Homo-oligomer: A and B are copies of this chain.
Amino acid sequence: MMRIVLAQLNPIVGDLAGNTQKILDAIAHAKKNKVDLVVFPELSLLGYPPEDLLLLPHLVNAYIGQLPKIISETQGIAVVIGTIRHNLDQSEKPIYNTAAVISDGKLLGYQDKSLLPTYDVFDERRYFEPGLGFTLFEVCGKKVAVTICEDIWRHGDLLKETHYHRDPVKELAALEPDLVVNLSASPYSVPKLAKRFSVCSKAAKTLGCSLLLCNQVGGNDSLIFDGHSLGVDEKGELIACGKGFQEDFVLIDLAAKKTEKLPSDTLKDLHDALVLGIRDYFYKSGFKKACLGLSGGIDSAVVACLAVDALGKDNVIAAAMPSRYSSEGSVEDAKKLAEHLGIELLQIPIEGPFDAYLQLLNPVFKGKAQDVTEENMQARIRGMLLMSLSNKFGYIVLSTGNKSELALGYSTLYGDMCGGLAVISDLTKRQVYALAHWYNREGEVVPKSTIEKAPSAELRPNQKDSDTLPDYEIVDNVVQGYIEECMSPEDICKKWGYPKDIVDGLIVRIHANEYKRRQSPPGLRVTEKSFSTGRRFPIVQRWS
């Protein structure tokens, strides 16, 4: 019987030499462990998503030229590896998203991906020609079928935006395979693991054989891949689950299956995802240290906690940058948090430059009243100071806005939106509070007063967020309904009982602030619809 390893790797996009080495190391490790078959994730040679790197013909040739080096290291073992190959027909797109099936030093053949997701963050029809059908490969005396990620999702009936003509699971069932493997690069989002298991389970039952899914792990720009590779038997029961948010070699002995339980800890997973997203963004781009502003508020507090978990406390530098409108409590809260986390806290009051700008612009503004201009000025001075630290010491600035603020443009472009990575830009305000409570589960990390006080930007005397925003509960629900579920204003009003004018007003604000979001740093995606590459709305439009 077969011993199989799901090599749940964390590739770096475009790292030809590094990813190859990772794959060769995994094969060597598997050989040592007397494994019959190693399965790698989708496009594991390139790292997912390679995006427009795939449009460089010299890159495509280099990756295709790399495969023989891997094949030559497969004596005595079978390997299924995600890569690309030329479409020699030249019909529509020039390459396939494919799996190379290799055994004992020989290439048995390719299995191309049939269903190419082209929605949300996925642009596969931009690059790939779809595969036209499936064949079985004889591996270790078994008939093995290979699928790639989306190929098994049509059957699960959980896709919202696309109803594919073809159902590869049904096509494969007719071929009666002994085993089906799936190479995935399936990104994390809050309810994703349960969905992924349900898809695998349903497919395995229809196929009447075991289904083993090897998922990529790691953060690549906005996308966080959670790993959690899965093994499911022909009854749809879970027989293996890889670790979440780290590399893993998931060994499955088909002769000695045992039932496993799906892990489930939503907040811990959310935490682990964000930590991985930060860590890989830094590590993969060669940076070590982050800096951020601590306002004393909940958002920057949670980002600081996450950054410490991702990079270590010595690699996180915080700055308190109080203005004439900052409360004493805020500065105290920032200090307390920095103490709890053991991070350095710089004190850089912004009155000097603020006053210099006010004086300089006084003749230009000709006695006009103070307004949002001067509020933005304070945020932008803080942005400038953080970017100056970044430039001088080589830090990456973390921006701290949440999804609810970003949706409504309750943030200053070139001010608090400055940064290399927007850590919690896909978390509603309520999710930020939930994470703060999670951090405090065994004692105070985020100061109690930070959690309990009313949110405020402190950019004018006694300002509160509630002066210009409805309750965050309303904002969060509208953001989730309108942005994540594309609900109509009418349906949102009906579902939550909100007045139409409030909902309409929020939706107008969402669209009107597209121009700000277009210039925001990349944000870590943790829902099925985040701002950034998966959401593409016009800036100038008159729909709403």
Q: A residues near B, CB below 8 A?
A: 12-16, 18, 47, 49-53, 55-59, 90-94, 118-119, 123, 125-126, 161-165, 220-221, 280-281, 284-285, 346, 348-350, 352-353, 355-357, 359-361, 364-365, 368, 371-373, 376-377, 380-381, 383-385, 387-389, 391-392, 413-414, 418, 420, 486, 488-490, 515, 518-522, 533, 535-544
Chain B residues contacting A221 (CB-CB under 8 Å) are: 538-540
Docked Cα-Cα span, A138 to B239, in Å, equals: 63
Chain B residues contacting A284 (CB-CB under 8 Å) are: 540, 542
Q: Decide: A540 and B52 in contact? CB cutoff 8 A.
A: no
Q: Decide: B360 and A352 in contact? CB cutoff 8 A.
A: yes
Chain B residues contacting A356 (CB-CB under 8 Å) are: 352-353, 355-356
Q: State how many copies of this chain the complex holds.
A: 2
Chain B residues contacting A542 (CB-CB under 8 Å) are: 12-15, 18, 284
Q: A59-B543, A377-B388 are in contact. Are A360 and B364 (CB under 8 A)?
A: no
**Smallest distance from the beta carbon of A302 to chain B beta carbons, Å?**
23
Chain B residues contacting A490 (CB-CB under 8 Å) are: 58
User: Whose C-beta in chain B lies nearest to the C-beta of A350?
Assistant: B360
Chain B residues contacting A383 (CB-CB under 8 Å) are: 414
Chain B residues contacting A57 (CB-CB under 8 Å) are: 486, 488
Q: Which of B118, B361, B518, B519 contacts A125 (CB 8 A)?
A: B118
Q: Decide: A364 and B387 in contact? CB cutoff 8 A.
A: no
**Pairs A-B, 3 closest by C-beta atoms:** A14-B543, A58-B488, A15-B542
Docked Cα-Cα span, A52 to B511, in Å, equals: 12
Q: Decide: B376 and A361 in contact? CB cutoff 8 A.
A: no
**Smallest distance from the beta carbon of A282 to chain B beta carbons, Å?**
9
Q: Which of B12, B360, B541 contacts A12 (CB 8 A)?
A: B541
List 22 contacting pairs A-B, 8 Å CB cutoff, sorted by A.
A13-B541, A13-B542, A14-B542, A14-B543, A15-B541, A55-B161, A56-B486, A58-B490, A59-B543, A92-B162, A220-B538, A280-B540, A285-B539, A349-B360, A352-B360, A355-B356, A356-B356, A368-B392, A376-B388, A380-B384, A522-B539, A533-B536
Q: Decide: B123 and A163 in contact? CB cutoff 8 A.
A: no
Chain B residues contacting A14 (CB-CB under 8 Å) are: 538, 541-544
